[in-house]
Amino acid sequence: MRRYTLADRLIEHADQILRTLTPNNQAALRVNPGAALPVAELTPEQRREVAGLMRVNHSGEVCAQALYHGQALTARLPTVRQEMERAALEEQDHLAWCEDRLKELGSHISIFNPLWYGLSFGIGAAAGIAGDKWSLGFVAETEKQVCAHLESHMQRVPASDNRTHAILNQMHEDEDHHRNQALAAGGIDLPPPIRRIMGLVSKVMTQASYHA
């Protein structure tokens, strides 16, 4: 089996960055859970609201991809690196599903995604350098906060919009699974100050991505 050098992994991550940030470039491994459901009749206001929420969710998945990519680059144990790479691959589906729904709503992904990616990649790489327990703890806390966002969005999306609800429900199930995996693998609870900072950064990302 080939042993990948740091240069090999840097090239691989450069390719991952381009795939994550380039529109129409993510192929889902699973069928979109809302694809077979009827299209709901939404008012213009409802369409804007749902589009804003799905843009936030798409940006959140960009952040998750970057976090996993950064952690995989600096993880100490090969098993943890492989786990991060596998989680990032699974979450490609979420990126594709959110983008599909935005297209159906006649909207677009956030213009701030390159910024969110860069910040999250740096956090992920730093967490990996700090140690695998910290890295896994960041995954667990990130997924916990993502699940909270998704639950909030489910309350705001019109009940008739079954396509969006199906996507959000599956994303929530996947994110909760990744959180439990990270904890089971040895992730630690992050100190309250770090959790609060993560929450503040998340609010900034949410507000900016909702509108643009």
Q: From residue 39, how far is each of 70, 166, 188, 192 by CA, in Å?
A: 37, 12, 42, 42
Is 143 marked as binding a ligand?
yes
Q: Which of 160, 146, 171, 18 is nearest to 95 (CA)?
A: 171
Is 99 marked as binding a ligand?
no
Is 45 marked as binding a ligand?
no
Query: Around Cβ 21, how many Cβ atoms within 10 Å?
Result: 17
Q: Which of 118, 101, 123 is nearest to 51 (CA)?
A: 101
Q: Which of 100, 172, 176, 185 is nearest to 134 (CA)?
A: 185
Is 94 marked as binding a ligand?
yes
Distance of CA 101 to the CA centre of its chain: 15
Is 61 marked as binding a ligand?
yes
Give the Cα separation of 97 and 102 in Å (integer): 9
Name 176's Cβ contacts closer than 8 Å, sequence gap at least 6: 143, 147
Is 41 marked as binding a ligand?
no
Residue burial 27-45, b: 16+ Cβ < 10 Å; e: rest: eeeeebbbeeeeebebeee
DSSP state of 160: T
Q: Which of 22, 4, 128, 6 is nearest to 67 (CA)?
A: 128
Question: Which residues are known binding-site members for Fe cation?
Answer: 61, 91, 94, 143, 175, 178
The binding site comprises: 61, 91, 94, 143, 175, 178
